[in-house]
Structure 1
Amino acid sequence: MKKVFNLGFILMLSITLMSSMCSSDDDDGSPNDYSQQIAQIEDTAESGTWRITNFNDSGDNETSDFNGYNFTFNSDGSLVATNGSNTMTGTWSITDDSSSDDSNDDDDIDFNIFFPVPDTNDFEDLNDDWDVVTTTSTRIELIDISGGNGGTDMLTFEKN
């Protein structure tokens, strides 16, 4: 009986020591530190007015719903879309989505858009935590893969 107890104790001690020696790849903080990229995207978005050149809602091209609108991403987090006669005001932000439940592990930065409008308003379709595909000084490409129906939405802003 003493041998069984000693063997069990040694096994437990070995497992405890081995698990305490393992370290996470994230300990240095750099793999998931997107603060510099986020700051660059924010600076780009805030650098002028933008127009939607592509809005594809689960296979339906709805770009024309936003024809004539200029979008301004303000540094205070407000988002203003105007076409001269109509003005829509919402909010925007860019966040690290490493803690979200997105299905794609390689999508690490969210471009969040929210307009407080009814479901029947075209601007409600823009409300989402879009994944950033690419950004340049004149183009911001976003994508969202729906968790519900699996549809893919694409949104592209180009600088005026």
Structure 2
Amino acid sequence: MKKVFNLGFILMLSFTLMSSMCSSDDDDNPNNNSQQIAQIEDNVQTGTWRVSNFIDSGENETSDFSGYDFTFNMDGSLVASNGTNTFTGTWSISDDSNSNDDSNSNDYDIHFNIFFPVPDSNDFEDLNDDWDIVSATSTRIELIDISGGNGGTDMLTFERN
């Protein structure tokens, strides 16, 4: 029993120390990403969110989502509503630390996946992507996507209402 407790204590201490450091060698520890993913999931499922910034290949398109509240539900559904129009899609967070995709110069290991089943002409289609998480707090999530095709950079920021 004492060995189990000591091992548990050592593991908890290790995770605490690793989560307080930011370096590229953190990539070898999938448990670190698991903790971060769980924390982000808990944060995003609380309250409603709004798009405070959306840059699509250099064009500011934040106003396309003005007035919409986004709800990230525990069942993986994502609801965007402005009181008149409602769009329902899906969301998830995934660990990409084992990916062989080294095409972008930044080393993002956690993806924030968004999908709305809408036509290409709908503004919400622009949000469909496996976004890289730049930063995430309890009130703000900053995402980025660097296109493999044209090299354009998209940036999306959600803030809690």
Common topology (TM > 0.5): yes
Distance (Å, rounded) in 2 between the aligned partners of 1:103 and 1:72: 32
- How far off its partner does 1:82 sit? 0.1
Distance (Å, rounded) in 2 between the aligned partners of 1:127 and 1:150: 17
Quick check: 1:116 aligned with 2:117?
yes
- How far off its partner does 1:97 sit? 1.1
Q: Could you list the runs of 4 or more consecutive aligned residues of structure 1 that deviate by over 3 angstroms after TM superposition?
A: none
TM-score by length of 1: 0.79
TM-score by length of 2: 0.79
User: What do you get for the CA RMSD once the two structures are aligned?
Assistant: 1.6
Distance (Å, rounded) in 1 between the aligned partners of 2:38 and 2:60: 31
Distance (Å, rounded) in 1 between the aligned partners of 2:159 and 2:127: 15
Q: Secondary structure at the match of 1:124?
A: helix
Q: Computing the radius of gyration over CA atoms, which structure comes out larger, 1 or 2? A: 1
Aligned counterpart, 1:7: none
Amino acid at match of 1:64: S
Q: Secondary structure at the match of 2:83?
A: coil
Aligned counterpart, 2:7: none
Amino acid at match of 1:103: S
Question: Residues 95 and 149 (structure 1 numbering): CA distance in 2 closer, same or farther, change over 3 Å?
Answer: same
Distance (Å, rounded) in 2 between the aligned partners of 1:138 and 1:86: 25
* Identical-pair percentage: 77
Unaligned runs of 5+ in 1: 1-25
Distance (Å, rounded) in 2 between the aligned partners of 1:48 and 1:115: 20
Amino acid at match of 2:59: D
